[in-house]
Amino acid sequence: MAISPATAEDLARAVAMLYEQAELTLIDRLREALAAGIDSPRWADLKLAALGDLQAAITEVIAALETDASGAIHQAVSEAYDRGQQAAVAELGAVATGQAAAAAVALPSAPAVDRLAAALVSETGPVHLRILRATLDTYRTVIAEASAAPLLGAQTRRQAAARALASFAARGVTGFVDRRGRAWNMASYVEMATRSAVGRAAIEAHSDRLSAAGIELVMVSDAPEECPRCKPWEGKVLTRGGAGGARTIEVEHATEDGRMVKVRVAGSLPEARSAGLFHPNCRHDVRAFLPGMTRRPGPKEQRSRATYEQSQKQRYLERQVRAWKRKAAGALEEGERKRATAHVRAYQARIRELVAETGLPRKSHREQTGGAR
């Protein structure tokens, strides 16, 4: 079984969902804090004096999130690593050679999993700092905007606060910028980072397992939706590790006779990856390459355009569900909350219709707040 980062992608959802849930809780805390005593003429002063209370509440939410996320990250990376190993074992099992027997010996996966998980946990550190700052900033902004026209009275103050809060809730905690300069919402950012980490774990596990079986070569698939960055590597044989560069090398023939054969390699797997292979949403995979045994794969089945468009439509509807859930959490007025909740239900109904119509798998976890951008 070949391995691709997509093999483990779904595992990132569990981590992202924790952030989506935490974001709803934060919006909730913020709304509660701002709503208390809003009709009092001394509201703005009271709110500024209570800043410490909100800070304590937010810090508590973040601490719980940190603990849960670090556990979920470890679990996701560990599962991804297992999947990668299993894929390699399945491939090795299919070629009944002495190498397969060697591969049956379990590899100690803990050090690799710990290392990959720790890297991701430290990548999410800045997210937690940003949560506190963004929430307190919003609190101050709402107070400032709502008290800008004190003479207009309580009703106007309420409306101004509701407006400022709603605009925060619509976006959620934002301001995460990736290496390409794109801004993300906190849950989407964490999901993206986790997807890339679990993808890395699966590929590494596969490669480690092949290495234990003495297999040094892999072959890249021919994906239906290729991108320019992956094109140079399509259908090519690569060394698992070591130096890059296209060259001809001599390797032992994989069948019993064990003679040496010449194989043309396009470079190394690390080289291909740093040149863009297995970028986010890449549909390529790699498998063990055994000279004299592995056949080049035929082009994969084309994914139909209609299916692609329908799945895009579904993603769009899921984003709407999440956005309206945030708006409901941030609604200061009861009527506004009801309207937002009605939108949540309406979009959920449209997803059900689309699923019934097309047979696409309904991913209800995707409708949790904040997943996509």
Interaction site with Zn ion (CB under 5 A): 230, 282, 284
- Nearer Cβ to Zn ion, position 284 or 287? 284
Beta-carbon count within 10 A of 306 CB: 9
Angle in degrees, CA 255, 221, 203, rounded to 5 = 85
* Least gap, CB of 223 to Zn ion (angstroms): 6
- Nearer Cβ to Zn ion, position 143 or 266? 266
**How far, in Å, CA of 12 to CA of 336, rounded?**
32
* Least gap, CB of 302 to Zn ion (angstroms): 15
- Nearer Cβ to Zn ion, position 58 or 220? 220
* Least gap, CB of 281 to Zn ion (angstroms): 8
The CA–CA distances, whole Å, from 258 to 89, 289, 290, 366 equal: 21, 15, 11, 50
* Least gap, CB of 220 to Zn ion (angstroms): 9
Burial environment of residue 313 by CB neighbours within 10 A (0 to 12, 13 to 18, 19 or more) = middle
The end-to-end CA distance of the chain, in Å, is: 32
Beta-carbon count within 10 A of 194 CB: 28
* Least gap, CB of 279 to Zn ion (angstroms): 6
- Nearer Cβ to Zn ion, position 14 or 275? 275
- Nearer Cβ to Zn ion, position 230 or 321? 230
**How far, in Å, CA of 58 to CA of 21, rounded?**
13
The CA–CA distances, whole Å, from 276 to 11, 269, 270, 273 equal: 22, 11, 10, 5
* Least gap, CB of 282 to Zn ion (angstroms): 3
**How far, in Å, CA of 84 to CA of 88, rounded?**
6
- Nearer Cβ to Zn ion, position 283 or 362? 283
| Residue (of 309, 319, 322) closest to 354 by Cα position | 309
